[in-house]
């Protein structure tokens, strides 16, 4: 039975036993095991000199970035069945910032919960894939970095008959972000507000009985109906 034991990183390489909780290596620690780095455990002198398909990280986070508090899938793959260790710089993977596989695999998916965009505007992932015994390989996955989806400002015009200045108030569905802005004019009004990408919600006049509907389709497209 081969056991993967070293000061910072522990991978479960046997169905029978492993000690990942006592051999922790967080995101910062994983930086010590880049391609070609000295290893010296399990009879493996160095981490593999290259990164690529031998150990790789993929995510389903949209290109525009993650939404704080949302869950996404992180997948680690390798060309050979190996033990895995995955760490993240922010957010959590099943309540922790580091996880290990329960056996040697070529692909494993993990659920990552993104941090609040108020506390962290980015997140990065580092992983190792390896096994001792007859395999004796250790590979570093190229680091993957993500950003929080940016907010956007949109301006639109429509007809209205309420004179003077009205304040736009309300909230965006699924967030605690308030909608703020002003509407001015007597026949044609212009409203400008700032909202998160991919949001959908309703904003209402502070005075008057009319309702202002806000739609977002993930492409900063908004419609104003009076």
In tens digits, what is the pLDDT along the chain, a chain of 226 residues? 344 444 444 443 333 333 223 347 899 999 999 999 988 767 778 999 999 999 999 999 999 999 999 999 999 999 999 999 999 999 999 999 999 987 899 999 999 999 998 878 899 999 999 888 888 899 999 999 999 997 654 444 333 333 444 444 444 444 444 545 554 443 333 444 444 444 444 443 333 434 444 433 333 333 333 3
CB contact at 8 A, 150 and 196: no
For residue 179 the two structure tokens come to 């909608």
Same domain, 141 and 177: no
Q: Report if residue 192 sits inside a domain.
A: yes
The parent domain of residue 197 ranges over: 151-214
CATH code of residue 65: 2.60.40.4060
pLDDT at 66: 95
Token reading at 54: 């031998």
d(CA 151, CA 34): 34
Q: Same domain, yes or no, for 138 and 174?
A: no
Does some domain include residue 157?
Answer: yes
Residue 210 lies in a domain: yes
pLDDT given at position 129: 92
Map residue 6 onto helix, strand or coil.
coil
Give the C-alpha separation, 181 to 222, whole Å. Answer: 15
* Whether residue 31 is found in the same domain as residue 135: yes
* Helix, strand, or coil (residue 83): strand
Q: How many CB atoms lie within 10 A of CB 60?
A: 11
Q: Which of 224, 215, 209, 165 is nearest to 195 (CA)?
A: 215
Domain count, the chain: 2
Give this prediction's pTM.
0.61
């Amino acid at each position: 039975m081969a056991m993967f034991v070293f000061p910072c990183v522990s991978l479960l390489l046997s169905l029978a036993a492993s000690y990942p909780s006592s051999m922790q290596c967080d995101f910062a620690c994983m930086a010590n095991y880049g391609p070609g780095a000295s290893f010296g455990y399990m009879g493996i002198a160095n981490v593999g000199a290259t990164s690529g398909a031998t150990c790789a990280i993929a995510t389903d986070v949209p290109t525009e970035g993650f939404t704080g508090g949302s869950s996404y899938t992180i997948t680690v793959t390798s060309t050979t069945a190996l033990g895995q260790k995955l760490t993240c710089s922010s957010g959590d993977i099943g309540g922790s910032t580091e996880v290990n596989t329960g056996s040697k695999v070529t692909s494993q998916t993990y659920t990552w919960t993104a941090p609040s965009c108020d506390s962290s505007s980015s997140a990065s992932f580092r992983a190792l894939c390896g096994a001792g015994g007859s395999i004796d390989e250790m590979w570093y996955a190229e680091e993957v970095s993500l950003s929080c989806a940016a907010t956007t400002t949109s301006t639109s015009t429509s007809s209205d008959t309420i004179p003077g200045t009205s304040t736009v108030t309300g909230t965006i569905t699924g967030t605690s972000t308030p909608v703020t802005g002003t509407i001015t004019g007597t026949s044609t009004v212009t409203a400008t507000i700032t909202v998160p990408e991919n949001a959908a919600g309703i904003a209402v006049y502070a005075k008057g009985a009319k309702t202002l509907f806000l739609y977002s389709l993930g492409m900063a497209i908004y419609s104003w109906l009076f």
